[in-house]
Every structure is written in C-alpha cells, then in structure tokens.
C-alpha cells in the first residue's frame, strides 16, 4: 500500500515540504481517478460509485450519472492537466467524456442538466426535478466544466455553450426559478449556496475569458450576499433568508448557519477582491470584503469547530452556536484551507496560519481512507469522530472538486506568496 505523502504540520507555517506533499497527494488522486476512467469506459461520464468507507463498488442499480459529478469532474480534470502535463492527454479525454454525457443530458432535457440521469440521458427523479424554465446547481457545475475544458483546448463552440449555460442559470437565480439539489428548499426561504456557487463561477469566467461582465456579476453577488445573509451586528452569515431578503428563523427560532457554506463564501469573495484589484469601481466593495470577511471566517472556525474530534460541523444555530447537524462532511476542510491562505494573503495575520495547521492536521488524519488511495471519508460523526455512512449530497464520490481543486489552488497561492517555490 502506498503511504500517504502528506505529513502533519508540526508548526503553523506553509513551506516547500508541505506543498510537495500536496503535489504528491494530488498525483496519487489523479492516478486513482484515471484508473476508474479506464475501468468504466462505457459509463456516461465520471463513475465514482463506490463506498467512501469500505471502498466497495456500488451495485448496478445505484450507478447512474450525476450532472454535479460530470460538471465538477470536467472542471477539475482540465485544471489538473495544467499542473500535471504527464497526464494531460488522459485527463482531457476523461473531461471530454464527461462533457459529452452532459451534452446528451441537456439535449434530452430541454437544455437543463438534471441532478441525476438515467443511462439513456433522461432525467432521473430523485425528488428535485426542475420544472420547465427552471435551473439548478447542476447547471452551474456544468457551466464550469464547459468553461474549463473549452478554454484550454480551445473550443469556441464549448465556450459559447458555457456562456449561455451560466447566463441562463444566473437569470433563473434572479427570477427565483431555481431548484436546490438534492433537497428542495421550502418556498418560505431562499438558500444562499446557489448564489455563492454562482460567485465562484463568475470568478472563474473572468479568469479564463477576461471579460469584465463576469467581474460585474461577481460584484453584484458579493454585495447581495453581504446585504442579506451577513448579520454584521452578530458576526455570522445565515444559510437562509426570507423571499424578501430578511434573515430566516426556523420553527424553533433558530438562525441556521452552515459553516462550510459560509467559509466557501469567504473564499469566493476574497478571490473576487483579488481579481478586482485593478478595477477602481470595485474599490469600496473590496474594502468591505477586507473589513468583514477575515472576521467572518474566524467566527465560523471558532464556533463551527469540534474540539473533541477535530472537524467542522455541518450546521449550527447562529444565536446559541450549538450544533444542529453534528456530522462533519469532508469537503469543509479543504475549502477551509483555501479560504485561510487567501485571507492570509490579504492580512498576513498569524492566527490564520494557526487555524490552517489545525484544519490541515484534521483533514490529513481523520478523513484519509487508505482503502480508496486516501480519498476522504464523506462524513465523520461529530460525537464519535468515526466515519458514518451519511451521504452529504449525491452518493457518488466527489471527483476532487472540493479536495484536489482546492489543494491545487492552495499550492498556487503559496507559490504566489513566496512560501513555496514554483
């Protein structure tokens, strides 16, 4: 069995040794995913249908394509190809297979990318089917896949498609014609996460296409999320608002905070601030981000952290800061690593590196499963610190969208900061 190439951090510093470990880990995960590509050549897209605990393959009836997974996979494989050119040909082929499946799904579903599809491409009803004219997070993830591969090949037709997919999804969000996946959000509240994902997408579109309209989209989203979801006087960021933009209290009077989603927003808004640095019109918004986002990140780490079994709770009550859902999904920690190094880039605050050490050590110990070549357990139970078979979103394993993509970004930021050599 191959040893985990990432060591525990003995002190709060990011250096060449740490970055080298990340790079070796990413190569290990690339080889794991490419092996699945070769083993399932006829599957429509990315086949990651196995248990994150036992490593056993799913039965045939549980193996069907997800647009979330295919869009995320195409995005990640295209990005990996930049840093691992020795695998570029296979990574591009895997991304192409995922995009071809997405194109079939869009063709058979009136231009929409279903959360789950049958093997013939028609939508599979898992309780979150989009009505005509509606869009969902699957459309946003598909947009990222078409953008990332289309901009690298380059492929003008795929890029036109990417632009249209994102435009349609953004219009649906603004018109409140958006379906949340995999669980529908009740009509008395509006979930923040699709907007946050759209911010991440807008950032990437600006980076790849150099089109200022996407920076404008990002600015509008950042301002909206800060205005409606961030309770400045209390220091936290709620998961839901009412349809008229007020903080939503549930039937028990709780204001639900999802620390992972809040931390993602911190990361995406910090990246927006970096991208907008040469655009004076966004200076007031960048100042607002600098004033609030590092402290919002700290609030979620301080109150979302499980000190007994290190990790971050899925949800807490903003008022009492007690856990509501005390499971600890894997994806929050690599998102946290990226948010922390981006915040450090803007502030140079040492406490952010101390939190980085905690998050790194938790992720690369508790969550690593040698049975799947150190792919992460999907969920850890907060009270016990043990893996638990609870599906965070879809049953397929994430194709390194949260973990690998963010670790690759961490490497790039560390090199930009001069903490590690390029």
319: confidence class by pLDDT, cuts 50, 70, 90: very high
- CB burial readout 207-226, b (16+ within 10 A) else e: ebbeeeebbbbbbbbbebbb
**Domain boundaries in the chain?**
17-48+59-182, 190-392
* Percentage with pLDDT > 90 across the chain: 94
DSSP for 62-123, written as a single string? G---BHHHHHHHHHHHHHHHHH-GGGHHHHHHHHHHHHHHHHHHHHHTTT---SBB-TTSSB
Q: Residue 387: its pLDDT value, please? A: 96
Q: What is the residue-averaged pLDDT of the chain? A: 96
Distance (Å, whole) CA 168 – CA 253: 35
252: confidence class by pLDDT, cuts 50, 70, 90: very high
190-392: what fold?
Glycosyltransferase (1.50.10)
Stated pTM of the model: 0.97
Per-residue model confidence as pLDDT tens digits over 355-396? 999 999 999 999 999 999 999 999 999 999 999 998 888 899
Q: Residue 2: its pLDDT value, please? A: 85
Distance (Å, whole) CA 152 – CA 6: 29
What is the average per-residue pLDDT within 86-102?
A: 97
């Amino acid at each position: 069995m191959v040893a985990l190439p990432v060591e525990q951090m003995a002190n709060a510093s990011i250096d060449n040794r740490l970055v080298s470990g990340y790079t070796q880990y990413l190569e290990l995960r690339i080889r794991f995913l490419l092996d699945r590509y070769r083993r399932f050549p006829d599957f429509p897209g990315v086949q990651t249908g196995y248990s994150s605990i036992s490593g056993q393959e799913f039965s045939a009836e549980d193996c069907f394509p997800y647009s979330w997974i295919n869009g995320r996979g195409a995005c990640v494989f295209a990005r990996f190809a930049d840093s691992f050119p020795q695998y570029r040909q296979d990574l591009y082929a895997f991304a192409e297979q995922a995009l071809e499946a997405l194109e079939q799904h869009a063709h058979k579903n009136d231009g929409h990318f279903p959360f789950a599809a049958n093997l013939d491409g028609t939508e599979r009803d898992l309780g979150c089917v989009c009505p005509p004219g509606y869009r969902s997070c699957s459309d946003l993830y598909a947009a990222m896949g078409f953008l990332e591969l289309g901009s690298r090949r380059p492929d003008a037709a795929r890029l036109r498609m990417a632009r249209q997919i994102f435009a349609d999804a953004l219009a649906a969000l603004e018109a409140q014609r958006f379906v949340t996946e995999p669980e529908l959000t009740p009509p008395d509240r509006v979930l923040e996460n699709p907007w946050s994902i759209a911010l991440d997408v807008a950032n990437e579109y600006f980076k790849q296409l150099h089109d200022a309209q996407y920076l404008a989209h990002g600015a509008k989203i950042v301002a909206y999320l800060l205005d409606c979801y961030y309770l400045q006087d209390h220091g936290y960021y709620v998961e839901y608002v009412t349809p008229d933009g007020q903080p939503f209290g549930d039937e028990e009077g709780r204001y639900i905070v999802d620390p992972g989603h809040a931390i993602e927003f911190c990361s995406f808004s910090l990246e927006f601030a970096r991208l907008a640095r040469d655009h004076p019109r966004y200076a007031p918004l960048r100042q607002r981000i600098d004033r609030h986002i590092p402290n919002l990140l700290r609030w979620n780490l301080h109150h979302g952290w499980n000190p007994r079994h290190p990790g971050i709770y899925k949800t807490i009550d903003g008022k009492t800061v007690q856990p509501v859902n005390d499971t600890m999904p894997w994806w929050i920690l690599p998102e946290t690593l990226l948010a922390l190094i981006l915040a450090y880039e803007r502030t140079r605050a040492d406490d952010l590196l101390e939190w980085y050490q905690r998050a790194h050590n938790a992720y690369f110990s508790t969550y690593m499963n040698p049975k799947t070549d150190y792919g992460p357990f999907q969920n850890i139970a907060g009270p016990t610190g043990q893996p638990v078979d609870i599906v965070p979103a879809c049953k397929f394993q994430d194709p390194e969208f949260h973990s690998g993509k963010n670790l690759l970004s961490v490497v790039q930021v560390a090199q930009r900061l001069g903490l590690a050599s390029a």
